[in-house]
Copies of this chain bind each other. A is one copy, B any other.
Amino acid sequence: MQLIPDSLRPEAALHVARVRDNIPAGCDAILIGFNANIYYTSLRFFRGYVYIPVEGEAVRFVIRPMGFTEEKDVIYVRKPEEIPSRLRELGMTLPATLGLEQDTMTWSDIARLVKAMESPRVINASPLLRAARMVKTPWEIGQIKEDGIHHAEAYRRFTKAYREDMTDIEWQVEMERILRLEGCLGYSRVSGQLMEINLGSVISGDNADAPTPYDFAMGGAGVSPAFPVGADGTTMRPGTTVMVDMNGAFNGYQTDMTRVWRIGEIAPLALEAHRCSLDILRELERIGVPGCPVAELYNKAISLVEERGLTDNFMGHRQHAPFIGHGVGIELNEMPVLTPRSKDVLAENMVIAIEPKFVIPGTGAVGAENTYQVTPDGLVTLTRFPEDIIPL
């Protein structure tokens, strides 16, 4: 059996070509060993390395799983130290300058690879891989669209799973079950050590104002000081909102979507802030065409928030998140990040999540988040599900 089926080979080759196109002048090759990039360049996760020279064919060095046939570009090794001799056997020259994933691999793993590759000059390959993955191929857009369909299908069933006497966690557990039965893998690749999360975030009432150590837009205190994020186990009360930002990872790619439910009537300020969030989304959908600077999306959102006098509540209250969105793909958080200092410019077929959220003390969090495809006509929603606050 082949490690990478013939049906996926042309797409994997396209991804490798995109990576190669991003290798800067003076770098002879890159050697990939990090999970998300192994998957991106091979469309199958394995333990091992993908070697991409500027000149010549890519080679996949596989440590595990065992038992697949070796092909021209699939070579079994026991350890990375075997790579140089195998490259020489293929008639390839060892790189004088090699790119390695310094932003995602450990110091020790990088040090081992440098030595194994006979100590070439090393550059950081992480930025070029982030850049390559930032613009999606049509096949990738298709995967993410499929995620969005399943994601919305699951959200459609959340209201019915609610019961009045539930804690936030109990409702979240029912949502997790619905998502998993819909095909959610139950695991989300995220970038960085500050993104620990289980199947998602369900934040009820004033738990939205609990400051978080993590890099999420909203926090939540969680139930353990070991893992202080998300639902905190309180009963959901009338007059409050529940913000639901649950996992959308179904097929190796993912979508990011947030919706808000309310128990009884909520404060006018909360309704106003939610309306502002939707207005921001509508405006950014319109201006988010190829060529639009990412910083402009951020600044536009901020100016709408300021107009409405909602700055103190935007992206948190006691603690504010410094972004309003991010790329989505194999990892939940990819490039570009929607900050005021971003130098990135939108390009066709980027996929970005935008999440203008507000925290209203005494009520909870409001706002909506969608995942979008960047098109010449603006942002196209891949998470099609009603955005109004849903009564419970």
Pick from B46, B187, B198: contact of A197, CB under 8 Å: B187
Interface residues in A100-153 by Cβ distance below 8 A to B read 100, 102-111, 124, 126
Assess the B176–A228 pair: CB atoms within 8 A: no
Pick from B181, B187, B224, B251: contact of A196, CB under 8 Å: B187
Assess the A180–B169 pair: CB atoms within 8 A: yes
A-B contacts, 7 listed (Cβ < 8 Å): A35-B193, A43-B226, A45-B226, A65-B212, A106-B107, A176-B180, A226-B251
Pick from B47, B63, B225: contact of A43, CB under 8 Å: B225
Assess the A196–B35 pair: CB atoms within 8 A: yes
* A interface residue numbers (CB < 8 A to B): 8, 34-35, 39, 43-48, 63-67, 100, 102-111, 124, 126, 169-170, 172-174, 176-177, 180-181, 183, 185-187, 189, 193-194, 196-199, 210-214, 219, 222-228, 251-253, 318-319, 330
Which residues of chain B come closer than 8 Å to A126, judged between CB atoms?
108
CB distance from A208 to the nearest CB of B (A): 13
Pick from B39, B106, B219: contact of A105, CB under 8 Å: B106
CB distance from A119 to the nearest CB of B (A): 15
Nearest-neighbor residue (CB-CB) of A122 within chain B: B107
Give the most central of A103, A126, A193: most B CB within 10 Å: A193
Beyond the given A65-B212, A185-B222, A187-B198, could you list 5 further A-B residue pairs with CB under 8 A, ordered by the A residue number? A45-B227, A103-B107, A176-B177, A185-B226, A187-B196
Nearest-neighbor residue (CB-CB) of A252 within chain B: B226
Given A177-B177, A224-B251, are A103 and B102 neighbors across the interface (CB < 8 Å)?
no
CB distance from A5 to the nearest CB of B (A): 8
Q: How far is the CA of A45 from the CA of B104 in the complex (A)?
A: 21
Which residues of chain B come closer than 8 Å to A223, judged between CB atoms?
183, 185
Q: How many copies does the complex hold?
A: 2
The prevalent SS among residues of A at the interface is loop
Q: How far is the CA of A211 from the CA of B181 in the complex (A)?
A: 25
Given A102-B108, A107-B102, A107-B110, are A225 and B185 neighbors across the interface (CB < 8 Å)?
no
Pick from B106, B210, B251: contact of A102, CB under 8 Å: B106
CB distance from A279 to the nearest CB of B (A): 28
Assess the A214–B47 pair: CB atoms within 8 A: yes
Assess the B194–A47 pair: CB atoms within 8 A: yes
CB distance from A235 to the nearest CB of B (A): 15
Q: How far is the CA of A172 from the CA of B184 in the complex (A)?
A: 13
CB distance from A313 to the nearest CB of B (A): 16
Assess the B110–A319 pair: CB atoms within 8 A: no
Assess the A198–B173 pair: CB atoms within 8 A: no
Q: How far is the CA of A129 from the CA of B209 in the complex (A)?
A: 34
Give the most central of A46, A173, A197, A214: most B CB within 10 Å: A173
Q: How far is the CA of A49 from the CA of B319 in the complex (A)?
A: 20
Assess the B170–A213 pair: CB atoms within 8 A: no
Q: How far is the CA of A228 from the CA of B253 in the complex (A)?
A: 14
Which residues of chain B come closer than 8 Å to A180, judged between CB atoms?
169, 172-173, 176
Assess the B227–A198 pair: CB atoms within 8 A: no
Which residues of chain B come closer than 8 Å to A176, judged between CB atoms?
176-177, 180, 186
Q: How far is the CA of A67 from the CA of B106 in the complex (A)?
A: 31
Given A176-B176, A185-B198, A226-B330, are A45 and B213 neighbors across the interface (CB < 8 Å)?
yes
